[in-house]
Amino acid sequence: MTEITKLEVGKLATNCYVVSNNGVAFVVDPGAESEAIKEYCDSHSLTIEAILLTHGHYDHVGAVKSLQNMTGAKIYGTPVCADFANSYKSMAFAFGAVLDRFSTDVPVRDGDNITIGDMIVKVMETPGHTKDSACFILDDNIFSGDTLFQTSYGRTDLPTGDFNALEKSLKRLFGLDGEYRVYPGHGPNTTLSIERQHNLINFND
């Protein structure tokens, strides 16, 4: 049975998710507090095999390298994610921080499937908040990063942000068949049916 645990990390209360099945786990967006993430997994006898990145902003990738050093987990992100994160575009300077540089072990593209233990995660590239943004879909769960929030969406006024691209990405998400639980990069969880009806993006039509 798949279990999803939310850990709020860092100064901006970034939602980091530990997703596990049969003792194997992946971590979505370890933005900070790598030791706390590792401690949680150790205390629940979970082996972290993968780190999935929704985009390269510092508050989502700040602990990537240290967590990889502790676990040996492979890093997955869109082809431009690491280059984005390792540049000024990560916005690390805004936090008075220097990002520990990392490389993407497995670049992923729209429509790819990632196999982690018994879990199969589908990749959906969702540019808009940033050029490198992606969502990860596991069964009826969507890890949306800063693309989709509860009744809202990610800002587009930072480097590579593009409102028109974000609108298209959100419409793709809303067009998915069926119901999904949505786990965003900040704030409370939501569902796709709620967002189809109430998300602020709909007021731009």
Sequential DSSP letters for the chain: --EEEEEEETTTTEEEEEEEETTEEEEE---S-HHHHHHHHHHTT-EEEEEE-S---HHHHTTHHHHHHHH-PEEEE-TTHHHHHTSGGG-GGGGT--------SEE--TT-EEEETTEEEEEEE-TTSSTT-EEEEETTEEEEETTEETTEE----STT--HHHHHHHHHHHHTSSS--EEEESSS--EEHHHHHHH-GGGGG-
pLDDT at res. 21: 98
Q: Which residues of the chain have pLDDT under 50?
A: none
pLDDT at res. 155: 97
Q: Which CATH architecture has domain 3-204?
A: 4-Layer Sandwich (3.60)
pTM over 0.95: yes
pLDDT at res. 204: 61
Domain spans of the chain, in order of start: 3-204
pLDDT at res. 95: 86
pLDDT at res. 202: 80
